[in-house]
Amino acid sequence: MNMEVPRKSVEFNKNDIYELNIFSDASEKLFAACVYLVITNSKGKKTVQFLMAKQRLSGTKKTVSMPKLELAALEMGAKLAELCIEELDIKIKECIFHSDSKIALHWLKKPELKQVFVENRVESIRKTSVKLNELKIKNSFRYVNTHENPADHSTRGIQDIEMLEKSNWLTGPEWLKSDKSKWNDELIIESNELFQKVKVVKVNKIEVKVEKIGLHSQIIGKK
């Protein structure tokens, strides 16, 4: 399938506000993420620009559950966000990560202990969040309905070009142009709520001898 992605001519203005919205999704065969730049001008008008997308084969391991693949897709989206910020010569104010997996989102706050696959990806996502915070870029993770998730088109493998062009794949959901107060707020995780693994430090047993001190030694130096 051959398809041309139209590149809009975008003029960056220092008075405009820029934010990245990253959507991720997974299926049994693929997991994917796509990135959109939302620009708000001085008059409050919003425009959306498709930036990039990536997909990867899920592999054949049956031990990897769908929520784990959704978490891997979230991690991919986090890496894409880092790449976009490095390449774009503009100040990004906020990064919002969207997933249609509530389990994967809840893992960001409290991953299943002793699940190495989950812990490693949650830690990777947390590190991205820390980097964004260091750059003073607000970041959060939100639930999005599957039917409104543009990354879903990639994981389902739409082969009809006309159908893909009519979807929200290139434009993102229509509500990206509306105020966030109108967005789905069913599940929102702020960056300061992300799970942080506590490192256990082994301390060797130290034996301390305490000797009795005579009264005369306590009054030395006293006047």
Q: Are 103 and 65 in contact (CB under 8 A)?
A: no
The pLDDT value recorded for residue 6 is: 57
pTM of the model: 0.82
Rounded to an integer, the average pLDDT of 22-46 is 93
Indicate the range of 13-22, 90-99, 104-113, 195-204 predicted with least confidence. Answer: 195-204
**Pairing outcome for strands 188-190 and 30-40:** unpaired
The pLDDT value recorded for residue 74 is: 97
